[in-house]
Amino acid sequence: MARKADSTEKGRITKPQYYLNIAKEVARRSTCLRRHYGAVIVNNDQIVSTGYAGAPRRTVNCTEIGTCVRIKLGVPKGEHYEWCRAVHAEQNAIIHAARFDMMGAALYLVGVSPETGEVIEGAEPCRICKRMIINAGIEKVFIETAPGRYQTQLVEDWIKRNLKELRMVRGRWLPVMPKGY
């Protein structure tokens, strides 16, 4: 559900916009050439962890190499993440936090285009990140959709829909095949 991040008090931004602004700043550390993502995990109005998209610690990153295999090969969004050097922002935020601190938490996610600096419309966690968010015990994901606008996704809804990876056919669960197969 898309929402406008209205001020609760004159001149004061809402809590979701506050944390989304922090996630946008975290995204500025990204070393991915394709997308700059920043994530902030918040529980009980306290920041538990942050993460940005980048190569594993102590390894060469794409900004140092100056190229991205997925860009070179024209790989569509959501496909062949195994060819990517980056650990996703959500993954890094989860890795750096204790599960106990994430139970019932919210994750704030912002994607920014490296070329324009504009917020990426339709940004959301990939399938792997959604699985990790579920297992971390996070309850909500706030995603900035445009300046001053965000949507809230309830993790419970992902679970109820089996991440849209399965469908019921004649009483049996069958996998939904990715596009192009």
Q: How does pLDDT run along the chain (181 residues), one tens digit per residue?
A: 556 655 556 789 999 999 999 999 999 999 999 999 999 999 999 999 999 999 999 999 999 999 999 999 999 888 888 899 999 999 999 999 999 999 999 999 999 999 999 999 888 999 899 999 999 999 999 999 988 899 999 999 999 988 888 888 999 988 888 765 5
Of 111, 112, 115, nearest to 129 (Cα)? Answer: 111
Catalytic residue among 25, 64, 90, 121: 90
Q: Give residue 153's Cα distance to chain centre.
A: 11
What are the φ and ψ backbone dihedral angles of 30, each rounded to 5 degrees?
-55, 140
For 69: left if phi > 0, alpha if psi spans -120 to 50, otherwise beta; the answer is alpha
Q: What is the pLDDT of residue 8?
A: 58
Question: What is the biggest distance separating any 2 CA atoms in the chain, rounded to whole angstroms?
Answer: 55
Nearest-angstrom CA–CA distance, 97 and 93: 7
Q: What is the pLDDT of residue 18?
A: 97
Nearest-angstrom CA–CA distance, 119 and 179: 26
Q: What is the pLDDT of residue 179?
A: 67
Q: What is the pLDDT of residue 155?
A: 96
Nearest-angstrom CA–CA distance, 143 and 152: 6
Nearest-angstrom CA–CA distance, 161 and 99: 23
> Which DSSP helix (H) or strand (E) runs through 159?
helix 155-160
Active site annotation includes 90: yes
What are the φ and ψ backbone dihedral angles of 147, each rounded to 5 degrees?
-55, 125
Q: What is the pLDDT of residue 166?
A: 87
